[in-house]
Amino acid sequence: MTYKAWGIAAVAVLLFLGSAFVGMVGLVPAEAGAAEKLLVCGPCSGAFLSTASRVVEELGCSDRVVVVRSSCLGPCSQGVVIAFRGEVYSNMTEDLLRTLLEATFSDDTDAKPAN
């Protein structure tokens, strides 16, 4: 095999693996009807997993959002880091997450807060 052929094969493999990784970590929009992934950076924000899960449950959107521990999302020096719908958010708090999810699902009658 020539160097050019090896290069083309390597690029093809990298593209395949890259697209598989992006889909796996949830940075691609969810399919219709599938729960969306709310990623919590495992290395720096793992302690926020239970908080995020509780907020999702309290808002009644656990059928639409699943909280998942992820690999590093990047800005670990900027407080709690999450990713949702392709956006990475840093300095996340319980109140900010609640506001984000309420705004996301405000027009959705199935995702109203549970009393």
CB neighbour list of residue 52: distance below 8 Å, 6 or more residues apart:
38, 40, 67, 82, 97
Give the pLDDT band of residue 19 (cuts 50, 70, 90).
very low
Residue 8 placed within a domain: no
Task: Indicate whether 81 belongs to any domain.
Answer: yes
Confidence of residue 110 (pLDDT cuts 50, 70, 90): very low
pTM of the model: 0.66
Within-domain flag for 21: no
| Confidence (pLDDT) at 20 | 43
- Looking at the DSSP bridge assignments, the partners of residue 92 are none
Q: How many domains in the chain?
A: 1
Q: Which two tokens stand for residue 101?
A: 């999810």
The CATH number assigned to the domain holding 78 equals 3.40.30.10
pLDDT digits (tens, 9 = 90+) for 31-65: 567 899 999 999 999 999 999 999 999 999 999 99
- Asked, for residue 24, whether it belongs to a domain, the answer is no
Residue-range definition of the domain harbouring residue 100: 30-111
pLDDT over 80 at 1, yes or no: no
In a 13 Å sphere around the CA of 65, the CA atoms on its Cβ side amount to 27
Digit-coded pLDDT (tens) for 58-89: 999 999 999 999 999 999 899 999 999 999 99
